[in-house]
Amino acid sequence: MVKVKREISWDSSNIAKHIPSYSSIINNIKKVRNPYLGNKRKLLSFFCKTIQKHKLNFNSFLDAFCGSAVVGLLVKETNRSVVSNDLLKLPYQYSLSLIENNNIKLSEEKIDFILFNKNSSDDFVMKNWTKFSDENGRNRFTIDEAKHLDIIKNNINLLESSIEKAIAFSAISLICMKLPFGFIDKSLDIYNHRKKQMDKYGKTSSHHDRRIGIYYDKYLNLNFYEWFPKYVNNIQNVSLIKNNKCKSLNLDIFNLLSQYNNVDCVYFDPPYGGKASKYGDLYQFFEEFITGERRENLTYYENANRFIEPKSYKKNFIQMLDMAENIPVWIFSYNDSSWETLDYIVKKIKKFRSNVIIESESYDYSYRGKKVKNKENEYLILAPKEI
């Protein structure tokens, strides 16, 4: 029996009828393996099936907390208009390179320029993220890596196009995050941790894991020369269609909703609450690397932890819903480890919408400080406005 791929059928007279099946779209998106915390790469089929099941109809889509930007990319690939937003600079780079970008690509010449051009670079990474850092710095990179990262950062900033810069910053971030020690900020001494990983799981170990070490050269330095072109290629070739109806924003949630509340559908995937949701802390290196500023000088950090502590979370959550009142379709992502129980969250949503639908899918999580994977339910909460 021949399996037929199901087409995305989110009904609308303004949407092109002939689009790729959602399975082909999702398989293509998965080629960009972004381990950004809370990303929905493995839950895209769940997202599609839920929208189809409940026949949600929209032409324009607002992704308020875009993170890895994969959900916005999925909607973009259905030829809808997408506004993709995140307060932090790293997700904004993902959004620019995947959502707003339509046909801009880094040429081989520009890739070589980024990797090899010897510029009079500052030593930001060297000063702040190696063993030579001051008392407020962190030992994250080897000296050779820091030198190369400083050169790369400055070469990226010499590019004229914001999209080209975003592709490059996104590729560099994925190289750093794909290292087998997990998030860049977890260890006080990444280099020594790297050596331990190599001893335990390297080629000469009886516990050999082929993933360990593939991003290093023989001196345990990140191999930018090999991996940067590969990640650039994955990022800029992921889209299957041309869609000029998409934009990327870098706004606080309340500034966003005050300006963009005339869309058909909003997707809220905020931090789920608790210490593991402090994205500004987890990805501090990338925020500093992209901006060239120390954290204490990044004023937007004041709003980076709106959705952490339960008391402030509730206040900000209610304000967010109130400001989104005019948007016809609401979609929320949460799970069993969220800031409050599912019943509590739904109760708050029902103060604004009488029609609230819950769909769930079991999912393996391996973060939040747990040493083993933990199976939890991932929820999509739908709240379409009754007409």
327-353 pLDDT, tens digit each = 999 999 999 989 999 999 999 999 999
How many Å apart are CA 235 and CA 68, to the nearest integer? Answer: 12
Alpha helices, H only, the chain: 22-29, 44-53, 70-76, 89-95, 108-116, 124-128, 143-157, 162-177, 190-201, 224-236, 253-259, 279-282, 284-291, 310-323, 342-349
User: How many C-beta atoms surround the C-beta of residue 266 within 10 A?
Assistant: 26
What are the residue ranges spanned by the domains of the chain? 22-88+245-277+302-384, 108-236
pLDDT at 73: 97
pLDDT of residue 368: 43
Q: Which two tokens stand for residue 233?
A: 């290629």
Task: Return phi, psi of residue 376, to 5°.
Answer: -130, 170
Task: For the chain, state the CA radius of gyration.
Answer: 21
286 CB-near residues (< 8 Å, 6+ apart): 89, 90, 173, 176, 184
Residue ranges of the chain with per-residue pLDDT less than 70: 1-20, 134, 136-137, 178-191, 210-214, 365-374, 387
pLDDT of residue 387: 57
Identify the pLDDT of residue 217. Answer: 77
Which of 161, 223, 174, 157 is closest to 70 using CA atoms?
Answer: 174
Q: The dihedral of CA 37, 47, 5, 22: what is its sign?
A: negative
In this structure, CATH architecture of domain 22-88+245-277+302-384:
3-Layer(aba) Sandwich (3.40)
Reference 140, options 188, 177, 175, 183; nearest CA is 188
Both tokens of 112, joined, read: 């070589």
